[in-house]
Amino acid sequence: MASVVTLTTDFGTADGYVGAMKGVIAEIAPQARVIDLTHDIPHGDVRGAAFALYRAVPYYPPDSVHCVVIDPGVGTARRALAVRTEGRQYLVGPDGGAFTLFCPPFSDAVPEAVELSEPRWWRAGHDLSATFHGRDIFAPVAAHLARQIETGDADLEVFGPRARRLRRFEVPAPVEERDAYRGEVVHVDHFGNAITNLPERWVAAHPEAPVIAEAGGKAMPVVRTYGDVRSGDLCALVGSAGWLEVACRDGSAADRLGLAPGIPVVLRRTAPRARPLS
Amino acid sequence: MASVVTLTTDFGTADGYVGAMKGVIAEIAPQARVIDLTHDIPHGDVRGAAFALYRAVPYYPPDSVHCVVIDPGVGTARRALAVRTEGRQYLVGPDGGAFTLFCPPFSDAVPEAVELSEPRWWRAGHDLSATFHGRDIFAPVAAHLARQIETGDADLEVFGPRARRLRRFEVPAPVEERDAYRGEVVHVDHFGNAITNLPERWVAAHPEAPVIAEAGGKAMPVVRTYGDVRSGDLCALVGSAGWLEVACRDGSAADRLGLAPGIPVVLRRTAPRARPLS
Amino acid sequence: MASVVTLTTDFGTADGYVGAMKGVIAEIAPQARVIDLTHDIPHGDVRGAAFALYRAVPYYPPDSVHCVVIDPGVGTARRALAVRTEGRQYLVGPDGGAFTLFCPPFSDAVPEAVELSEPRWWRAGHDLSATFHGRDIFAPVAAHLARQIETGDADLEVFGPRARRLRRFEVPAPVEERDAYRGEVVHVDHFGNAITNLPERWVAAHPEAPVIAEAGGKAMPVVRTYGDVRSGDLCALVGSAGWLEVACRDGSAADRLGLAPGIPVVLRRTAPRARPLS
């Protein structure tokens, strides 16, 4: 079975850097199915990459390889990694934080990881460039890993020694109070929806009372889907990845409310609903 | 023969939503060739998607599957559809109007369509999300359809009951007068060319007299190709899809003339050319 | 072995023009692996396309086909070409200058080229459009070439007669002085790095003395990698394609210094380093 290699970068495509990575992969692993996950991560936005991966990676067949190059630290001492997640997805890229959401508390297990220190898997016959490890280390390693998966003998440890403590960005835990749950925006997506750190379960745990959300100085209903409010109205709803999102139907909640990572979002229980007489 | 699945969305790629759809397809139909048609449709722009599909879909091999998710109505009662066009292209997506240009009067036949109401073809083993049917319904159905096409037993009716009257946006018919043909801009493309509802045949039908076009308060020649005018000059010409377009060589006619859908464009016959003496 | 066809255009994807080209290729060469190199070349920017190709094409397996359509002259007398580079990469596209960096002095040999004048390889059964040769000539020729490569009988000359003197843009030669090397910016990439015409070898040839670079009225150190300066600092370094680049760590040197093609960049040798006592 042909293996899958996805690519996630902040390179854009116009300069040809991504094109070079695809050429390297086509040379090493001509059978692999190469899939563009995205090249439009904002420059250096490790957090944006982490959320893109979190939304996409779990839907791939096990043993897919995801090459992720957001690398402002290229040429410094930052580590180069290959990681196997709890769900048997492989992640290859610099240790800059993009794999945060595949580590506890977002996964149950600590993922296995190795440091890419074995030059025999890098681009062959050339000096290593000091500025483009996407082409010279990460694409070749992803391609070799894909080949090994095709032949059934993938072994992370051939690429280098075990690596501990992946670099992670902080996602603050929400704070539960008596009738409220205080969280914050952790990411704003391309539609202007603001993803928060408030998990689905708190909303689901309080079906007996209407819950409202507050963000950017406005209160809004917590609904099931965009269609539950009118065009242009604000709402909060559990997004496709399981976290509460602040949204505006047919518009951008982030623009409307000035939302950005770190801005508080509060879920508040209102007076209990009167039970209908039966 | 491996089947083809193309993807058209307004999701952009940066958030990972498209990446999730590709993962779902790779899981269900690992042999399918997945082709990005575009993810840069402006948010909610059903008309833009319709023109992109109109320009691209007819050039695919018959039995290609095109998954088209422009879905501002996700979670409302809008229908989910699979459609087979006159040219045996399959279209899968919400019933929001994106398939307008594959219906009469733009095609000779009414396309076959079914409503996607059979959950067994949706993403398996999960509750349906209320906000992301691209991942949970349309990508899985497109992938299952591609598999059925590979094995030679594609049957739209397994996906749900026959659907009638696809939702369509209005493209006004041009009005013919004695020496003029009055139409309007229906779409502006990425180069700033303004596509009109004036068909090729009216221009072709009047070879005996020079025809000029008027748009945005300016008159311009009707030419065969951009090279017939000087750099920076305005012209009108029959575009690659068979409709008159207002263009500016090496520039944007839309910016220059303030063109947008609905702005009038008139083709006008001028004084007949003197016949050359023979 | 399935062949590789890459696509490079300035079409963007939103209008469906690229989608049409991919459909044409899927019809003619269903086995080919179609790879998006980029569709985000700025409109008509032949030089940008040339640099993207220069960075990417050498990393593909020999006998890959690269379809490159930056074509402001479509419908004029500009030639349509198929080219085989010194490194046995095939380039197919209009003769507008995008292949400059595969010609001397950037390659040792003059590439072989033919003019695409044989309509039997164009899109079958249709009149040639006057505005979209990407779909009607270049994609079909690239696909036919890919098929011929798969079956081992690729022969450029079946597509038309030998073409001489490819159109090229001028890259001025840098000027060497006693203690300085005067060049200029030739291209600015998506990160805001300014690529110059100053080759790696001049920097490498003067290891005994510190070299500084001057651009946009500022002097900056010549370093090995971004990590050698602090975040926000300017530097010059040899980029991944072998030319000196002016960069700003975690920022845009082009924005900071007002750099654009043609702006002078000078490498200057400073006082020799004192030898350490041994």
For helices B17-28 and B139-150, angle between their N-to-C axes, nearest 10 degrees: 30
Q: Name the phi and psi angles at A225, rounded to 5.
A: -155, 160
Which one of A70-84, A120-134, B148-162 scores highest in mean pLDDT? B148-162
- Touching subunits for chain B (3+ Cβ pairs under 8 A): A, C
Hey, are the CB atoms on B16 and A224 less than 8 Å from each other? Answer: no
CA A140 to chain centre: 22
Residues on chain B touching C73 (C-beta within 8 angstroms): 227
- The pLDDT value recorded for residue C271 is 62
**Nearest CA distance, A168 vs chain C (angstrom):** 19
Does the pLDDT of residue B235 top 80, yes or no? yes
Hey, are the CB atoms on C53 and A12 less than 8 Å from each other? Answer: no
Query: Which among C58, C59, C250 has CB closest to A72?
Result: C250
* pLDDT tens per residue across span A178-198: 888 999 999 998 889 999 999
Handedness of CA C62, C68, C74, C77 (dihedral sign): negative
Q: What would the mean pLDDT of B178-198 be, rounded to a whole number?
A: 91
CATH number, domain B175-269, options 2.60.120.10, 3.40.1380.20, 1.10.3720.10, 2.40.30.90:
2.40.30.90
Q: Is the ipTM of this complex over 0.90?
A: yes
Q: What would the mean pLDDT of A121-126 be, rounded to a whole number?
A: 80
Does the pLDDT of residue A129 top 80, yes or no? no
- Chain B to chain C Cβ contacts (< 8 Å): 113
Q: What would the mean pLDDT of A5-27 be, rounded to a whole number?
A: 97
Percent of chain B with pLDDT over 90: 71
Q: Please give the Cα distance from C171 to C105 (Å, whole number).
A: 10
Using CA atoms of C217, C223, C226, C227 in order, give the dihedral in degrees to the nearest 10: -130
Residue-wise burial string across A231-259, b where 16 or more C-beta atoms lie within 10 A, e elsewhere: eebbbbbbbbbebbbbbbbbbbbbebbeb
- Where exactly does CATH 3.40.50.10790 map onto chain A? 4-159
- The pLDDT value recorded for residue C210 is 72
Q: Mutation target for A interface from C226, C229, C235, C252: give the one with most A CBs within 10 A.
A: C226
Residues on chain A touching B135 (C-beta within 8 angstroms): 59, 240
* pLDDT tens per residue across span C16-44: 999 999 999 999 999 999 999 999 999 89
A4-159 carries CATH number 3.40.50.10790: yes
* pLDDT tens per residue across span C209-254: 678 899 999 999 998 888 889 989 999 998 877 889 999 998 999 9
Hey, are the CB atoms on A240 and B73 less than 8 Å from each other? Answer: no
Averaged confidence pLDDT in chain C:
90
Query: Which among C1, C40, C60 has CB closest to A13?
Result: C40
Does the pLDDT of residue B208 top 80, yes or no? no
- Give the H/E segment covering residue A263: none
Nearest to residue B126, comparing CAs of A242, A205, A66, A89? A242
- The pLDDT value recorded for residue C205 is 67
Does the pLDDT of residue C70 top 60, yes or no? yes
Contact C132, C105 (CB under 8 A): no
Confidence of residue B195 (pLDDT cuts 50, 70, 90): very high
Percent of chain B with pLDDT over 70: 94
Q: What's chain C look like in SS3?
A: CCCEEEEEECCCCCCCHHHHHHHHHHHHCCCCEEEEEECCCCCCCHHHHHHHHHHHHHHCCCCCEEEEECCCCCCCCCCEEEEECCCCCEEEEECCCCCHHHCCCCCCCCCEEEECCCHHHCCCCCCCCCCCHHHHHHHHHHHHHHHHHHCCCCCHHHHCCECCCCCCCCCCCCEECCCEEEEEEEEECCCCCEEEEEEHHHHHCCCCCCEEEEECCEEEEEECCHHHCCCCCEEEEECCCCEEEEEECCECHHHHHCCCCCCEEEEEECCCCCCCCC
Residue in chain C closest to A31 (alpha carbons) equals C2
- Please give the order of strands across the beta sheet that includes C112-115: C33-38, C4-9, C65-69, C90-94, C80-84, C112-115
Q: Mutation target for B interface from A101, A226, A245: give the one with most B CBs within 10 A.
A: A226
* pLDDT tens per residue across span B118-164: 999 999 766 677 789 999 999 999 999 999 999 998 999 999 999 99
Which one of B189-198, C140-149, C183-192 scores highest in mean pLDDT? C140-149
Residues on chain A touching B45 (C-beta within 8 angstroms): none
Hey, are the CB atoms on B56 and C19 less than 8 Å from each other? Answer: yes
**Nearest CA distance, C34 vs chain B (angstrom):** 8
Q: What would the mean pLDDT of B174-186 be, rounded to a whole number?
A: 91
Residues on chain A touching B77 (C-beta within 8 angstroms): 227
A211 strand-pairing partners: A269
Does the pLDDT of residue B85 top 70, yes or no? yes
Residues on chain B touching C19 (C-beta within 8 angstroms): 6, 8, 35, 37-38, 52-53, 55-57, 59
Question: Three-state DSSP class for B180?
Answer: strand
Residues on A contacting C at a C-beta cutoff of 8 Å: 11-24, 26-27, 30, 34, 36, 43-44, 72-77, 129-132, 135
Query: Which among C23, C44, C131 has CB closest to B240?
Result: C131
Hey, are the CB atoms on C20 and B55 less than 8 Å from each other? Answer: yes
Q: Mutation target for C interface from A131, A135, A136, A137: give the one with most C CBs within 10 A.
A: A131
* pLDDT tens per residue across span A87-116: 999 999 999 999 999 999 888 899 999 999
* pLDDT tens per residue across span B7-19: 999 999 999 999 9
Hey, are the CB atoms on B15 and A52 less than 8 Å from each other? Answer: yes
More confidently predicted of C274 and C188 = C188
Least trusted range by pLDDT, from A1-5, A122-126, A250-254, C9-13? A122-126
Does the pLDDT of residue A15 top 60, yes or no? yes
- The pLDDT value recorded for residue C206 is 62
* pLDDT tens per residue across span B86-103: 999 999 999 999 999 999
- The pLDDT value recorded for residue A209 is 61
Least trusted range by pLDDT, from A118-127, B151-160, B244-253, C129-138? A118-127
Q: Name the phi and psi angles at B230, rounded to 5.
A: -80, 160
Q: Please give the Cα distance from A216 to C234 (Å, whole number).
A: 38
Q: What is the residue type of A97?
A: G
For helices A46-56 and B17-28, angle between their N-to-C axes, nearest 10 degrees: 30
Contact A167, A101 (CB under 8 A): no
Residues on B contacting C at a C-beta cutoff of 8 Å: 1-2, 4, 6, 8, 33, 35-42, 48, 51-61, 64, 189-191, 224-228, 237-240, 249-250
- Where exactly does CATH 2.40.30.90 map onto chain C? 175-269
